[in-house]
Amino acid sequence: MATPILKWAGGKRQLLDELYARFPADYDRENDAFHEPFFGSGALFFDHEPSRGTINDRNTRLHNFYVQVRERPEALIDRCREFGDPESDPDPAVEFAKEGRDGRAIDQYYYQQRALFNRRPNGESFDPLDEAARLLYLNRTGFNGLYRENSDGEYNVPIGRYANPDWVRAEEVRAASEALNRLDAGDLHNDDYAYVLDAAEPGDLVYFDPPYEPMSPTAEFTEYSAGGFDRDDQRELLDAVLELADRGVHVILSNSGVMYDLYDEAGLHVDHEGATRAINSDADNRGEVDEVIATTVAPADRQAYGDRTLGEF
C-alpha cells in the first residue's frame, strides 16, 4: 500500500474510513475506473491503488512531480539526496547564492532552492526532474508543509524548523511510483477538473476534493495557488457532479461544512465529519475542522465497510 509523499493542506488520510464507507457496493477497483480530479497529495488514490482511471491537478508543478515519480523514481530519489541542510549557507557554485531576483539577500540554502524552484513562473528554463526534487525538498523543509503561491505563481513559503527532516522519502516514492504505473501515462492530467466529464463512464467512481469553501470571511482555504477557487466555481463543480450522476457515474465529494445546505438541497447524501488538520499557518487553528462528505451513493447501495480500521482496507 502506498502513502502520500507530500504534506498537503486538506489531505485526506484521516477521512479514508469515511470515504471508503461511501463506495458503491457494485464498484470493483480492478474493473471499474476511479477518477480523482483534485489530486493534491492523493491520499485516497494511493491507499486504494486502482487499476483503471485518471488523476488530475491543475497545479503544473505538482503534475510534473507525479510524472517524475511515475517515470523516474530512482533518479528523483538520487537527486533529492544531493540537497543540503536548509539552514546551511547557499551553494556558491549555483545561481542565487547571494541574492534573489528581487535583489534581496539570500543567506540560507533553503531560500536559494526556493528561488531555483521558481524558474517556471518566471519564464526561465528548468529541468523537470530538478523541479520535482525541489518541490519535495521544499515541501519537507518549508514552514509547516504548506504549499502557497503568490499572485505571480511563485512559491513563497518561508523556511520551517525541523530536527531531522526527511526530504528523500525513498520508500514512499517507490511505492507511489508503482501505484501510478497501474495507470497509463496519459491518465495523469494537468487540466481543469471538467475533463472528467469526458473521461468517466457509467459505473465509474469519481472523488472530488476541491479547494474548500472558506468557513469564514477571514479563512484562506483556497490560496494554495495563484488561481483560487471561489463560490461560483463551487456551484459549477456541483453542476458537474449532478451531470455525472445523471449519466450513472458514482460521485463522492468533500468540502467544508458551509457547503452542507447547498449539497443537501441538490439531492446529495450529505454528512458532517470532523477531521484534525495539522497543516495550518496559525498553530491555534490546528485541530478538528467541520467538513462534509457528500455522495450520489445512497446508504443502501454502499459497500459494507462500516467501522473497519484503515489497516484493513
Percentage of the chain beyond pLDDT 70 is 88
Question: What's the confidence (pLDDT) of residue 35?
Answer: 98
| CATH class of the domain whose range is 82-162 | mainly alpha
pLDDT tens-place string over residues 296-313:
999 999 987 644 433 343
- Check whether 114 has a pLDDT greater than 90: yes
Please name the amino acid found at residue 11: G
- Check whether 283 has a pLDDT greater than 50: no
- Check whether 221 has a pLDDT greater than 70: no
Question: 13-58+191-312 and 82-162 share one CATH topology?
Answer: no
Q: Average pLDDT, stretch 233-242?
A: 97
Average pLDDT, the chain: 90
- Domain assignments of the chain as residue spans, ordered by start: 13-58+191-312, 82-162
- pTM of the full predicted structure? 0.89
| CATH class of the domain whose range is 13-58+191-312 | alpha beta
